[in-house]
Amino acid sequence: MQVPLLDLKAQYATIRQEIEGPVLELIASQKFILGKVVEDFEADAARYCAVPHALGVSSGTDALLLALMALDIRPGDEVITSSYSFFATAGCIHRVGARPIFVDIDPATYNLEPAGVRSAITARTRALIPVHLFGQCASMQHLLEISEARGIPIVEDAAQAIGAEYCGRRAGGMGRIGCFSFFPSKNLGAFGDAGMVTTNDPALADRMKILRAHGAQPKYYHRVVGGNFRLDALQALVLHIKLRHLDDWTSGRQRVAGRYGELFRRSGLVGCGHVRLPEAREGRHIFNQFILRVQRRDALKSHLTAQGIGTEIYYPVPLHLQECFRYLGYAEGAFPESEAAARETLAIPTYAELTVEQQEHVVDAIRKFYASGSPTP
């Protein structure tokens, strides 16, 4: 039995008929850049995220870059973020000329540890970027308190967390700006690269709209320098149709997560410490990934690959140890929880279409690996 990490073809089969007609109509219209199709998607996406303003952009990476540009983050500034995230979170801080300041994670949730944030703040701190990793919100209450007390804006990296909630509030609506990715593997995935920024602040929304198209206002007149961060109409159309299914797909992922919990507990793998399950804390976890913490991770990954089971390591190198950030001067051991997570975590298949039989196969393959007692490398 094959169990891919993600099966987008299975998802597409369920919506193909809804999508093909409108896509062909859009092609016939030859109107590909921004316009009504993008605006219609933005209106519904804003409603979904419970914010007044949402702007479609070219990717999650560009959403972060645009957010930092809109907040006027520049050389000499410091931006605090997690040392355990996808590269783009820190890459964008560097790209605007600011200095990424890393903080370790809470090992139970993989999200930014608020106490570490407090002690990392200096007179040069200009923004905080918590990441809602794997689909679960960071400890926003503490971070919002810090943000308010110190007057430092929060940019939520909600790339993996559309529809996630913390104390009843949706990801992307708690900080000054929310940044989303619609990379195909996300709960809401485009047919290519796409992203979105959200905000409650109308002035910031206007500024981001101008920066999204090279800073032009009106067209061909530039008071500020922006970029080409526009969302394609084709992607907006696909995303708009898929948005109607998002809650069902997310419920499916939550069901899969619950079932994994039962299967792992029944397998005996959890009690003996071979496997630790993800911990859902406050709020709505959308399970963009289902992350195990395991013993002998790399050997287990090879074993599962041989059994036709897809897995992935998110992420093998924490941000503070990336070669390109050597100039920041962080040494190994600086952030032990991020480093442990990079050594021990493994993402296993998670998507709404995953069958009970496939999940049983995954858990059984993991059980057999530990039962065989293959030697510690």
* Interacting residues toward ligand PLP by CB under 6 A: 59-61, 85-86, 88-89, 131, 157, 159-160, 181, 183, 193, 195
Nearest to 341 by CA among 117, 110, 138: 110
Q: What's the min distance (Å) between Cβ of 337 and ligand PLP?
A: 17
Contact 187, 288 (CB under 8 A): yes
Distances (CA, A) of 318 to 63, 89, 324, 330, 355: 22, 12, 12, 11, 33
60 or 283: CB nearest ligand PLP: 60
Nearer to ligand PLP, 163 or 195 (CB): 195
The nearer residue to ligand PLP, 246 or 270, going by C-beta atoms, is: 246
> Minimum Å distance from CB 356 to ligand PLP?
28
Which residue's structure tokens are 């929304």? 205
Cα–Cα dist 299/279, whole Å: 24
Six token digits for residue 83: 């040392």
Nearest CB to ligand PLP, comparing residues 61 and 350: 61
Region label for 136, one of left (φ > 0), alpha (ψ between -120 and 50) or beta (otherwise): beta
Considering the complex, what minimum distance in angstroms separates the CB of residue 10 from ligand PLP?
21
| Least distance (Å) between residue 126 CB and ligand PLP | 19
In whole angstroms, the minimum distance from the beta carbon of 69 to ligand PLP comes to: 15
Q: Pick between residue 61 and residue 359 the one whose CB is nearest to ligand PLP.
A: 61
Q: Kindly tell me which of 83 and 359 has the beta carbon lying closer to ligand PLP.
A: 83
Least spacing, CB of residue 189 vs ligand PLP, in Å: 10
Name the minimum Å distance from CB 157 to ligand PLP: 5
Kindly tell me which of 85 and 311 has the beta carbon lying closer to ligand PLP: 85
In the complex with ligand PLP, which residue's Cβ is closer, 51 or 131? 131
Q: Report how far residue 197's alpha carbon sits from residue 204's, in angstroms, rounded to the nearest whole number.
A: 10
Residue of 208, 212, 159, 158 whose CA lies nearest to 183:
159
Going by C-alpha positions, the residue among 311, 370, 346, 297 that lies closest to residue 3 is: 311
Task: Give the count of beta carbons closer than 10 Å to the beta carbon of residue 287.
Answer: 27
Q: Report how far residue 309's alpha carbon sits from residue 354's, in angstroms, rounded to the nearest whole number.
A: 12
Closer to ligand PLP by CB, 88 or 269: give it.
88
CA-CA distance, 345 to 327, in Å (whole number)? 27
**Checking DSSP bridges between strand 195-199 and strand 275-276, what pairing results, if any?**
unpaired
At closest approach, how far in Å is the CB of 93 from ligand PLP? Answer: 12
Nearest approach, Cβ of residue 260 and ligand PLP (Å): 21
Packing angle of the helix pair 60-70, 202-212 (nearest 10 deg) = 120
Contacts of 319 (CB under 8 A, 6+ apart): 81, 82, 83, 84, 85, 87, 89, 90, 100, 102, 325, 338
Minimum distance of ligand PLP from residue 231's CB (angstroms): 11
Which residue of the chain is nearest ligand PLP when measured via CB? 60
**Is 11 or 59 the residue whose CB approaches ligand PLP more closely?**
59
Beta-carbon contacts of 122 under 8 Å, excluding residues fewer than 6 positions away, are 78, 101
Specify burial of residue 195 (Cβ count, 10 A radius: 0-12, 13-18, 19+).
buried
